[in-house]
């Protein structure tokens, strides 16, 4: 007797009276038994199976190797980023707290008129903290975090993206509250109908929109966050589903100072005066958060390069032999590490923000 799942797939019978981890395991290992499984696979199944050792109903007709990939590569149960790790972006933090964190924490209060949108778009130049915000949302709301780059769906999972998307939303709905972060979402939901748009990528897009529609109407505690450096590419359907759209701009001078201080302090290397710090901030106008990180990394190599130039041997070098990081190190590194975003690009984000962004 052949059983069929919701989507018509064959559902293998699952024992209802005990653990089916072994059963699932043997499906993954092609029936070779538990011994053939590596620890990662076993761990994956332990994570996905409920406390009763059963794989949730929704996941039973999904391919085990996809579940394994999601559990091992896409799911992050402890994203480990807090608001305090993110410099500046006060406006975004405030909006996000009200719009998505509280609703994830208190679904009982945020229903009816207060029911939140389930889609959030973070747009702006690369390296400004969009991924960090996604992780912090999950961390603050004690939600499971799922990270996927949309371009990997089209490049790495050719022809299989659809299945992976279905499995991803399936796992997320079993791990609520959940935050699904889709990086480079423009490559999935773009408005370009290029001649070469393959049937498969069209199907992938449709599948994705269907999945979003599914949890948007229900009472599920799933938030989808799309991130993009190219908001202009998104089509109307994508904008409609991503109801809140927040501009994540380049860091302000204060935020840049904060990044310098916090990175150097972590290593006990921060000895710059207020004056020097603000001089560096003036010189780094237009640098993104990730440019600043690269700059600090390079500048912190200055004392080491100096010591080696003076003939010290790396093997015998004592930490005490190294001088502190100075503004001169930064001046030198500024020639090496250039800003990655051009001012013309910034203009286009601002235009899009005025037209489609959530400004309040």
Q: For residues 313 and 254, give the distance between their C-alpha atoms in angstroms, rounded to a whole number.
A: 38
Choose, by CB under 6 A, the member of 101, 188, 259, 272 that binds ligand ADP.
Answer: 259
Q: Minimal CB distance to ligand ADP: which residue? A: 289
Q: For residues 300 and 336, give the distance between their C-alpha atoms in angstroms, rounded to a whole number.
A: 13
Inter-residue contact 212 to 225 (CB < 8 Å): no
Q: For residues 263 and 331, give the distance between their C-alpha atoms in angstroms, rounded to a whole number.
A: 17
Choose, by CB under 6 A, the member of 45, 67, 86, 150 that binds ligand ADP.
Answer: 86
Report if residue 289 touches ligand ADP, rule: CB under 6 A.
yes
Report if residue 126 touches ligand ADP, rule: CB under 6 A.
yes
Inter-residue contact 178 to 222 (CB < 8 Å): yes
Binding mask 181-220 for ligand ADP (x = CB under 6 A): ----------------------------------------
Where b means 16+ CB within 10 Å and e means fewer, 182-216 reads bbbbbbbbbeeeeeeeeeebeebbebbbebbeebe
Choose, by CB under 6 A, the member of 293, 324, 332, 345 that binds ligand ADP.
Answer: 293
Report if residue 58 touches ligand ADP, rule: CB under 6 A.
no
Comparing CA positions, the residue from 54, 48, 84 lying closest to residue 68 is 48
Residue 189 beta carbon to ligand ADP: minimum distance, rounded to whole angstroms: 17
For 330, residues 6+ apart whose C-beta sits below 8 A from its C-beta are 280, 283, 295, 299
Question: 291: buried, middle or exposed (CB in 10 Å: 19+, 13-18, 0-12)?
Answer: buried
Stretch that binds ligand ADP, among 124-132, 151-159, 170-178, 309-317 (CB under 6 A): 124-132
The footprint of ligand ADP on this chain (CB under 6 A) covers a number of residues equal to 18
Cα-based angle 192, 148, 174 (whole degrees, multiple of 5):
120
Beginning with the edge strand found earlier in the chain, give each strand of the sheet holding 244-247 in spatial order. 75-76, 144-149, 178-183, 222-228, 119-123, 244-247
Report if residue 127 touches ligand ADP, rule: CB under 6 A.
yes
For 72, residues 6+ apart whose C-beta sits below 8 A from its C-beta are 40, 43, 44
Stretch that binds ligand ADP, among 41-49, 84-92, 237-245, 319-327 (CB under 6 A): 84-92
Report if residue 252 touches ligand ADP, rule: CB under 6 A.
no
Report if residue 250 touches ligand ADP, rule: CB under 6 A.
no
Stretch that binds ligand ADP, among 278-286, 289-297, 314-322, 338-346 (CB under 6 A): 289-297
Report if residue 139 touches ligand ADP, rule: CB under 6 A.
no
Residue 293 beta carbon to ligand ADP: minimum distance, rounded to whole angstroms: 4
Report if residue 225 touches ligand ADP, rule: CB under 6 A.
no
Stretch that binds ligand ADP, among 2-10, 231-239, 276-284, 288-296 (CB under 6 A): 288-296
Nearer to ligand ADP, 75 or 255 (CB): 255
Inter-residue contact 188 to 235 (CB < 8 Å): no
Question: Which residues contact ligand ADP (rule: CB under 6 A)?
Answer: 86-89, 126-132, 227, 251, 255, 259, 289-290, 293
């Amino acid at each position: 007797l052949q059983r069929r799942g919701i989507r018509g797939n064959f559902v293998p019978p699952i024992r209802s009276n005990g653990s089916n981890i072994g059963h699932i395991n043997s499906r993954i290992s092609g029936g070779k038994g538990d011994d053939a499984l590596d620890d990662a696979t076993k761990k994956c199944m332990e994570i996905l199976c409920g406390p009763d050792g059963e794989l949730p109903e929704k996941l039973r007709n999904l391919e085990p190797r996809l579940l394994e990939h999601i559990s091992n590569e896409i799911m992050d149960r402890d994203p480990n980023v807090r608001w305090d790790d993110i410099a500046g972006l006060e406006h975004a933090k405030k909006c996000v707290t009200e719009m998505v964190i509280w609703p994830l924490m208190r679904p009982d209060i945020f229903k009816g008129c207060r029911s939140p949108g389930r889609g959030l778009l973070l747009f702006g130049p690369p390296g400004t903290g969009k991924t960090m915000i996604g992780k912090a949302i999950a961390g603050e709301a004690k939600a499971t975090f799922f990270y996927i780059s949309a371009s990997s769906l089209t490049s790495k999972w050719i022809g299989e993206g659809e299945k992976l998307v279905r499995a991803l939303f399936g796992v997320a709905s079993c791990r609520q509250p959940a935050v699904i972060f889709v990086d480079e979402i423009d490559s999935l939901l773009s408005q370009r109908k290029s001649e070469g748009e393959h049937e498969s990528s069209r199907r992938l897009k449709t599948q994705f929109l269907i999945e979003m529609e599914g949890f948007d109407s229900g009472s599920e505690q799933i938030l989808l966050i799309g991130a993009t450096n190219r908001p202009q590419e998104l089509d109307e359907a994508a904008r409609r589903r991503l109801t809140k759209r927040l501009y994540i701009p380049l860091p302000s001078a204060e935020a840049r100072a904060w990044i310098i201080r916090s990175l150097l302090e972590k290593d006990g290397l921060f000895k710059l005066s207020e004056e020097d710090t603000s001089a560096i901030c003036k010189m780094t106008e237009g640098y993104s958060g990730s440019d600043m990180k690269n700059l600090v990394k390079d500048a912190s190599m200055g004392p080491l390069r100096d010591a080696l130039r003076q003939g010290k041997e790396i093997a015998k070098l004592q930490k005490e032999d190294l001088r502190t990081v100075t503004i001169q190190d930064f001046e030198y590194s500024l020639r090496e590490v250039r800003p990655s975003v051009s001012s013309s690009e910034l203009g286009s984000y601002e235009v899009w923000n005025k037209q489609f962004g959530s400004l309040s």
